[in-house]
Amino acid sequence: MTHQQLLHKINYPHELRQLNRQELYTLAQELRSFILSNVSKTGGHLASNLGCVELTIALHYVYNTPEDALVWDVGHQSYPHKILTGRREKMDSLRQMGGLSGFPKRGESGYDTFDVGHSSTSISAALGMAVANQLRGRDNKVVAIIGDGSMTAGLAFEGLNNAGWLETDMLVVLNDNEMSISESVGAISSYLSQILASRFYNKVKGTANKALSIMPGMQKLAHKVEEHMKGMVMPSTMFEELGFNYIGPIDGHDLEQLIDTLSELKNLPGPQFLHVVTKKGQGYKLAENDPIGYHGVNKFNPNEGMVSNKSTALSYMHVFGKFLCDIAKIDDEFIAITPAMREGSGMVEFAKLYPEKFFDVGIAEQHAITFAGGAATKGIKPIVAIYSTFLQRGYDQLIHDVALQEVSVLFAIDRAGVVGADGPTHIGAFDLSFLRCIPNLIIMTPSDENECYQMLYTGFRINNQSCAVRYPRGAGIGQELDTEFKMIPIGKGRVVREGHKIAILAFGSMLQPAREAAQEIDASVCDMRFVKPLDRDLLVQIAKTHEFIVTIEENVIAGGAGSACAEALQDLNIQRPILHLGIPDQFIEHGDPKLLLASIGLDGVGILNSIRQKNWF
């Protein structure tokens, strides 16, 4: 067949199920080629999707989707699923404003059963669906597809534990792309997997258990022998102890084996666990050789591969990475912690230079924070690098295991505010609101790269309480770093533009658009720097010399920095008209960050328009 001739005939899974097995292999090749071509033009997650092609085809071939539910974990491997479920012609709009989401999204398709973006939710969500089906008398199947990285989070094991206890009919597919199957082990594993998955084996196993039940000693011995023999060739024991029937590992690129095994498992009762081994970047050598580098990509030429970004603008994550390396030269009493975000948080160089100080704890945000709290009790300064959206997952630990302990931990909070193409699951819109109500915590909002660098140092040097420095994704404004460390006075803002009548109180990234708006109306602008403690002296000064106050932040308005200003003014018995600008009470969809900020009025033009509507000048 010609290039993608077969793929373009498949719009929905029911058409896929009409193909013969040989045609499925052709489809897999065309699908992989389409993904590579498309993602190279739009950007997005590449290596994980290339590795999941055969598994996706097999799942839709065996299961009657969408009546049977596929629950993808995280969802950065869902592009083949999207293409095969009616969205092929829209893939050129992937992750763009008004286009397809980069993750499964229930509002986008009936084949997307759960909105995802954070890891390790699939098993719990799938179990909930399976229980609901059972209660409503439905025989629809439910499958959770989870990666080996996501299995490091406690939530995955909470789901496994509950599913095994309930003995609910469901399948968990572990997509393991870190292991490889050697020829000998693979042959044995394939043979045993087929036997273990067969209804004949499970029927015999059930009959034998029933017969042996009258002889408890023999039954216990037989079970131990079975587990010992299986445990010699496969990592089944842990999952079977949790109540699952474990099958695998099998080759995740062998369509015949995948379809045969899934077909057998589909009709088995109770919780089933299928271990599938795949290769990230499968079929594209550059991604196979560098699966981390090709995990998330910008636009590139597939024939040439990715070219390093030649931009001279310093990103905030690189500012943080430089801070770590620089502080390590003068201070030995600290550790740096990340929940599986070494590359994304700018910690690669530090990890190479100071491996004894670097701790990647896996996708385990709760553990990362409590781990930091424990280390801090023994006099070590922990620096936790974490995305704003992922900090939400460790909120209880932040309160109970850090703030309540009255220890000193520095939180470097990346991806604060609008994040762009990753959309609502990754937006850092809530951290100022949920952080500022916690005692024993200082909150800083740098307005440029140098402010970020010095605030990180300031937070590092404070020993009597914890500090959070929150900064946006991407490049700064081009501010050159002053690499001589300087302490910033705690709780002190600064006036960066003198004006009349109206004062704009800007927090963090909103300082630049606030300045743009202020020039048009001759307003004063303050870089507030701190959300907690707030600069009350500056508030009093501004209130005495200005009639109107505007607060602006790249955070939700509800409970954010603007609310802190209003509360302080009320406490000071000062009454002034206040306009609060920030992220509205809605989830912000994916798209170009500049366009998104403009759409919610957080650029210079939007700020000016909002002030004009108040008729204050």
Question: Which residues carry out catalysis?
Answer: 280, 365, 393
Is residue 467 within 8 Å of 441, Cβ to Cβ? yes
Structure tokens at 167: 């003995």
* 448/479 Cα distance (integer angstroms): 6
Is residue 376 within 8 Å of 382, Cβ to Cβ? yes
Sign of CA dihedral 103, 107, 111, 113: positive
* 126/155 Cα distance (integer angstroms): 13
405 residue type, one letter: Q
Q: Which residues contact 315 (CB under 8 A, 6 or more apart)?
A: 346, 474, 475, 476
Q: Which residues contact 300 (CB under 8 A, 6 or more apart)?
A: 40, 306, 307
Give the DSSP H/E element, type plus range, for residue 166.
helix 154-166
SS3 content of the chain, % helix, strand, coil (to 5): 45, 15, 40
Give the DSSP H/E element, type plus range, for residue 506.
strand 502-506
Structure tokens at 187: 């042959």
State in Å, rounded, how far the first CA of the chain is from the last one: 69
* 112/114 Cα distance (integer angstroms): 6
For residue 36, CA distances in Å to 90, 283, 286 come to: 15, 10, 11
What are the E-state strand segments in 308-349? 334-338
* 314/479 Cα distance (integer angstroms): 8
Q: Is 269 exposed, middle or buried (0-12, 13-18, 19+ CB in 10 A)?
A: exposed
**SS3 assignment, position 446:** coil
Q: Which residues contact 559 (CB under 8 A, 6 or more apart)?
A: 432, 433, 434, 436, 437
